[in-house]
Amino acid sequence: RKEVEQDPGPFNVPEGATVAFNCTYSNSASQSFFWYRQDCRKEPKLLMSVYSSGNEDGRFTAQLNRASQYISLLIRDSKLSDSATYLCVVRYNTNAGKSTFGDGTTLTVKP
């Protein structure tokens, strides 16, 4: 079983749709959680950190459920510019400096 598993996608949605991505992790010692966005042939960039209380940044909402070892990302009112690959990242403080990436979920928003 992979340490971090994401919905494989791809997700193809119309503009204005709401889309949700899920991610599960296997190591209960995980301490830090993130969603990164990667555009084609570009580097990953931090979209948002994920906190236990859940957090929101504009149209984006991230949730963490430690009991179920599950992270989610909700995108409301999708824009064409949201088209990208979304990477779930989990970091274990028991292993200095190692962040584990999910395989990524590709989103295409169509007009």
Partner 1 sequence: DTEVTQTPKHLVMGMTNKKSLKCEQHMGHRAMYWYKQKAKKPPELMFVYSYEKLSINESVPSRFSPECPNSSLLNLHLHALQPEDSALYLCASSQGSAGMVSGANVLTFGAGSRLTVL
Q: How many CB atoms lie within 10 A of CB 66?
A: 12
- Nearest CA to 7 out of 16, 20, 68 is that of 20
Q: Which is nearer to partner 1, 22 or 76 (CB)?
A: 22
28 binds partner 1 (CB under 8 A): no
Q: Residue 109, CB half-sphere, CA atoms under 13 Å: how many?
A: 16
Site for partner 1 contains 99 (CB under 8 A) = yes
Contact range with partner 1 by CB under 8 A, out of 22-30, 67-75, 76-84, 96-104: 96-104
Question: What residues line the site for partner 1 (CB under 8 A)?
Answer: 31-34, 36, 42-46, 49, 51, 87, 89, 91, 93-104
